[in-house]
Amino acid sequence: MPAPSIRHQLFIDGRFVDAESGETLATLNPHDNTPIVDVALAGKADVDKAVAAAKRAFPKWSRMAAADRGRILLKLADLIEANGEELARLESLDTGHPIRDSRRLDVPRTAACFRYFGGMADKFQGETIPVEEGFLNYTLREPVGIVGQVVPWNFPLMFTSWKMAPALAAGNCIVMKPAEITPLSSLRIAELMAEAGLPPGVVNMLPGLGSVAGQYIAEHPEIAKIAFTGSTATGRRIVQASAGNLKKVQLELGGKGPNIVFEDANLQAAVNGSAWAIFHNQGQACIAGSRLMLHEKIADAFLEQFIPLAKSIRLGNPLDENTEMGPLTSAQHRERVLSYVEVAQGEGGELLAGGKSPGGDLAKGCYVEPTVVRAKSYKDRVAQEEVFGPFVTVLTFKNDEEAMQIANGTDYGLGSGLWTNNLQRAHKVARDLHAGMVWINSYKRVNPGSPFGGVGQSGYGREMGFDAMREYTQVKSVWVNV
Ligand code: TAP
């Protein structure tokens, strides 16, 4: 039986309610595929109800003093910290994140993001513009209106804050759909929002199927903007569906992050950083360093350290404090990740580590061993397609020119990293990488103040920082005849 505190209904207009259809779907524990709780599944009628509630809430919420909106977000951040252990356990149970990561990263980052945008609410402002004599011109930054937000299952807790915090700080109302397989932490956040004083209707949380609730949010004529995180294929569908009412669209899509190790890098730091880049969260990260690009002079020395490190990662129950890597989030996804081992071998690639599910106690869960493959060419599928698991593709290069050709040789452009002690090379490569984010002698750093997003097939728009506030507002120019 689920713990009584696990919320499993839709959150509409400040209340937990069943879906109109009465439909539910069991969310599973990926450690052993046992059901955690049956969760209500939103349909079109529920989306309509949520939009109506958001419409009712919008006039008051959008005109509330920005500092008061901010205060609610600050209180929410405090509540997230106060309930941090419960949230961490819920996230680990539902997604498979190791509890040490949920405690150390997901929960504090979620609180930090709400706190950052709580502080931002009354600091994001318009401008006065010098125009012709006899006129005063100024701009207002107005909220967009009702915003649809659709997020995937890899970081459900953190994504509630990345998506909702700037939208709320700017005065928008929200209809959010978490992924159907990981709705639990988002529902708990909705409950904490009510406790923090968020008025009913400002945030509505609708677990449901992407093809039903997600698609309808994208199509809905009264939703002014859609912010989406997920696969590039679904991103395209969102763009098409949102054309009807010309929604503003923000897309955070897939990636195939190049992580480049030059011959002059600090090898130990690069080995450790590269393991973090790909294996954190079981590799289920859009910014994962999934293409490990090694200068041919140091490739062997690097792999001599990297492969034993990959093999030493402790897999186990995510609720065990000693676990370093948990299960993937679903059995279906585990099969997809493992299918890429065959793809690699079919292309003449070499399996250097992992490539299978562990046996024993973990056989019932969605586990995959840390997997390292060496590809023949950067044009191979394993070097081009997002695997989204603990699966890294090794490529080698001869010189900087070839490194750039390989690094920029995919349609994606999200996270990227490089390891070198040459300052000039570092900045030159950072400039030339086709990517939304570059980490130098590091990988996968995020902060609520630093813009996050991609280029090319990785999407458009930015989360975090002032850029996120621009995404969630529109400019009105006011002319005064003086
Ligand atoms: P998707 O299948 O695209 O699902 C993402 C979300 O979209 C889920 O909530 C899904 O609902 C929903 N959805 C599915 N079909 C839809 C439709 N026709 N209309 C509207 N919504 C729909 O992605 P995924 O496989 O779960 O997530 C992994 C992907 O997300 C990877 O490609 C990863 O790179 C990307 N990602 C990107 C970023 C950034 S910031 N760029 C961050 C994290 C992840 P259901 O799951 O309920 O079907």
3-state helix vs strand vs coil in the chain, percent to 5: 40, 20, 35
Question: Is the CB of residue 289 below 6 angstroms from any atom belonging to ligand 1?
Answer: no
Active site residue 286: yes
Out of 91, 180, 219, 252, the active site residue is: 252
* pTM, entire model: 0.96
Could you say which DSSP state residue 9 is in? S
- The single residue listed with the structure tokens 């300052």 is 423
pLDDT tens string 269-295: 999 999 999 999 999 999 999 999 999
DSSP-assigned letters across all residues of 58-112: HHHHHHS-HHHHHHHHHHHHHHHHHTHHHHHHHHHHHH---HHHIIIIIHHHHHH
Instruction: Please tell me the distance from the alpha carbon of residue 283 to that of residue 79, in angstroms, as a whole number.
Output: 29
- 207 CA closest ligand 1 atom index: 47
Share of the chain above pLDDT 70, in %: 99
> Binning pLDDT at 50, 70 and 90, where does residue 183 land?
very high
Q: What is the average per-residue pLDDT within 32-52?
A: 97
Q: Which two tokens stand for residue 243?
A: 């054309």
Active site residue 86: no
Instruction: Please tell me the distance from the alpha carbon of residue 380 to that of residue 460, in angstroms, as a whole number.
Output: 26
Question: What's the pLDDT at 1?
Answer: 38
* Burial state string for 353-386 with b = 16 or more CB within 10 A and e = fewer than 16: bbbebeeeebeebbbbbbbbbbbeebebebbbbb
Q: What is the average per-residue pLDDT within 194-220?
A: 98
pLDDT tens string 304-347: 999 999 999 999 999 999 999 999 999 999 999 999 999 999 99
- 155 CA closest ligand 1 atom index: 43
Question: What's the pLDDT at 2?
Answer: 45
Cα 240 to Cα 152, 201, 318, distances in angstroms? 19, 27, 38
* Type of residue at 446: V
Cα 356 to Cα 307, 368, 389, 480, distances in angstroms? 15, 6, 12, 68
> Binning pLDDT at 50, 70 and 90, where does residue 4 land?
very low
User: How many angstroms does the Cα of residue 151 sit away from the middle of ligand 1?
Assistant: 6
Q: Which two tokens stand for residue 265?
A: 């890098």
> Do 21 and 212 contact (CB within 8 A), yes or no?
no
Q: Mean pLDDT in the chain?
A: 97
Instruction: Please tell me the distance from the alpha carbon of residue 439 to that of residue 121, in angstroms, as a whole number.
Output: 29
Instruction: Please tell me the distance from the alpha carbon of residue 268 to that of residue 245, in angstroms, as a whole number.
Output: 53
Question: What's the pLDDT at 3?
Answer: 54
